[in-house]
């Protein structure tokens, strides 16, 4: 049409009005005008205890978004569903249900295993997933459709957190015992490089297999004379308990032993009393301050846990800001703006403040309740918040500090 109009104007002896370009198909909103946020958190199964706090975080965010006028002039709608745990097919059925109900974005799932299973279905439904709790590093490379994002750091950033913490605690020389899977491999490089950047070094790196002998491994560690040992096993099972016992017996217990998020657990019924006394570990996730706890209790007066609630809140705010930047609620349009909402513009710390910035500026950088939330090209945070936990004589851990990774 534009070419025809230009041709007619050139051939006519009379002045022709300059045509106004019509919006292209790609510029037209693809959504229906209402941003519908679905959630996939466990309300059944073995991990149901972490589902409630995350759903509370989303509810609090939706309340703040709608109090500020909603998204593109319309209130956000919340669609909550159950992910179950990895032993069921509940997550797949719930994702299909959310798609039928018109969900544009899904906050969740919490489980890395479920996130991996849902990548293909989410891509087919053109619904981005933003997880507040899935930490497996391989999710970044398995996502070939640009459909998966997260507000929780990948496990690789634990190496950054520990590499910063240990020299500060006068433990510059560290040994690492880690498995050969993606999780174990992800921490090696970041721990070594961060230790070096802070004047320390990784003096021993032992790759654990199912047949690794604790006595042999610990003897090799002792010969390297580290100031601290990081034990990065994938769970709190028999192998982990055997290595803890061997390390403690060799003089690497108490403040010299560090656990990671994979094996930080309640060992009160699993190990002899006092064996973990003074041992520390880290767990990803920001602490909920008093102001945020009050925000959560405004939507759930009985809330007692806030685990991953800050990350769920920020995931929801980012989705709304991305929809505002895109002037569209369609899932893939939202996905295309998630990184832009998190980094590179004028800093803002709430949905309402970010909307105010967008009245005069083209770009924003949302810093949330869980931290800076700067997403990289893979949709991962470039930094992360961690809690530092220390064991008492009953082999149970309690929060003793914080760290950044």
CATH no. for residue 338? Answer: 3.40.50.2300
Are 205 and 350 part of one and the same domain?
no
Are 269 and 320 part of one and the same domain?
no
Residue 9 has pLDDT above 70, yes or no: no
- How far are the Cα atoms of 130, 136, 235, 368 from residue 285, in angstroms, in the given order? 15, 14, 18, 13
Q: Which range marks the domain in which residue 200 is found?
A: 157-284+385-404
Specify the pLDDT at position 7: 29
Specify the pLDDT at position 27: 59
- How far are the Cα atoms of 66, 342, 356 from residue 69, in angstroms, in the given order? 5, 20, 12
Nearest-5° Cα angle at 230, 228 to 233: 160
Gap between the Cα atoms of 353 and 360, Å rounded: 12
Are 341 and 391 part of one and the same domain?
no
Residue 1 has pLDDT above 60, yes or no: no
Are 50 and 144 part of one and the same domain?
yes
Average pLDDT for the chain: 92
Are 207 and 178 part of one and the same domain?
yes
> Mean pLDDT over residues 297-314, rounded?
97
Specify the pLDDT at position 29: 82
Are 280 and 168 part of one and the same domain?
yes
Residue 25 has pLDDT above 90, yes or no: no
Specify the pLDDT at position 17: 34
Q: How confident is the model at residue 405 (pLDDT cuts 50, 70, 90)?
A: confident
> Mean pLDDT over residues 317-344, rounded?
97
The larger pLDDT score, comparing residue 6 to residue 289, is at 289
Q: Of the given ranges (12-21, 153-162, 394-403), which has the lowest mean pLDDT? A: 12-21
For 379, which DSSP code?
Answer: S
Specify the pLDDT at position 153: 95
In which order are the strands placed within the sheet that holds 129-131? Answer: 77-82, 36-41, 105-107, 129-131, 148-150
Tell me whether residue 128 is exposed, middle or buried, using C-beta atoms within 10 angstroms of its C-beta: 0 to 12, 13 to 18, 19 or more: buried
Residues recorded for the chain: 405
Are 146 and 161 part of one and the same domain?
no
Report if residue 11 sits inside a domain.
no
Specify the pLDDT at position 13: 31
Q: Is 0.75 topped by the overall pTM?
A: yes
Specify the pLDDT at position 375: 97
206: Cβ–Cβ under 8 A, 6 or more apart, which residues?
Answer: 175, 176, 177, 178, 212, 217, 220, 221
Residue 385 has pLDDT above 60, yes or no: yes
Are 125 and 186 part of one and the same domain?
no
Task: Give percent above pLDDT 70 in the chain.
Answer: 93
Residue 73 has pLDDT above 60, yes or no: yes
> Mean pLDDT over residues 215-233, rounded?
97
Torsions phi, psi of 188, nearest 5? -60, -55
What's the pLDDT tens digit per position in 266-285?
999 999 999 999 999 999 99
Could you tell me where the DSSP H helices lie in 28-73? 51-67
Are 105 and 45 part of one and the same domain?
yes
């Amino acid at each position: 049409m534009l070419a025809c109009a230009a041709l007619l104007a050139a051939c006519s002896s009379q002045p022709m009005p300059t045509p106004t370009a019509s919006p292209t198909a790609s510029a037209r909103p693809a959504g229906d005008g209402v941003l519908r946020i679905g959630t996939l958190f466990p309300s059944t199964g073995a991990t149901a205890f972490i589902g409630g706090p995350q759903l509370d975080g989303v509810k609090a965010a939706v309340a703040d978004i709608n109090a500020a006028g909603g998204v593109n002039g319309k209130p956000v709608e919340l669609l909550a569903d159950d992910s179950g745990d990895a032993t069921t097919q509940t997550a797949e059925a719930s994702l299909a249900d959310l798609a039928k109900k018109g969900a544009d974005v899904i906050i969740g799932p919490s489980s890395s295993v479920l996130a991996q299973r849902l990548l293909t279905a989410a891509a087919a439904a053109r619904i981005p997933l933003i997880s507040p709790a899935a930490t497996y590093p391989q999710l970044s490379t398995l996502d070939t459709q640009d459909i998966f994002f997260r507000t929780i750091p990948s496990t690789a950033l634990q190496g950054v957190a520990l590499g910063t913490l240990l020299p500060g605690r006068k433990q510059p020389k560290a040994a690492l015992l880690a498995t050969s899977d993606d999780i174990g491999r992800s921490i090696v490089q970041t721990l070594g490089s961060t230790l070096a950047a802070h004047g320390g070094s990784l003096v021993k790196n032992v790759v654990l297999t199912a047949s690794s002998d604790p006595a042999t491994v610990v003897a090799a560690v002792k010969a390297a004379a580290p100031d601290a040992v990081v034990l990065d096993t994938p769970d709190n099972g028999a192998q982990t308990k055997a290595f803890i016992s061997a390390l403690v017996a060799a003089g690497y217990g108490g403040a010299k032993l560090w656990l990671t998020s994979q094996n930080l657990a309640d060992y009160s019924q699993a190990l002899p009393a006092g064996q973990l006394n003074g041992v520390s570990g880290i767990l990803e996730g920001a602490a909920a301050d008093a102001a945020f706890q009050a925000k959560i209790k405004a939507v759930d007066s009985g809330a007692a846990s806030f685990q991953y609630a800050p990350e769920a809140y920020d995931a929801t705010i980012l989705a709304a800001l991305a929809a505002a930047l895109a002037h569209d609620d369609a899932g893939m349009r939202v996905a295309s703006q998630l990184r832009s909402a998190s980094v590179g513009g004028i800093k803002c710390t709430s949905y309402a403040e970010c909307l105010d910035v967008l009245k005069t500026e083209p770009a924003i950088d949302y810093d949330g309740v869980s931290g800076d939330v700067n997403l990289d090209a893979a949709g991962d945070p470039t930094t992360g918040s961690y809690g530092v936990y220390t064991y008492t004589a009953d082999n149970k851990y309690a929060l003793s500090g914080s760290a950044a990774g």
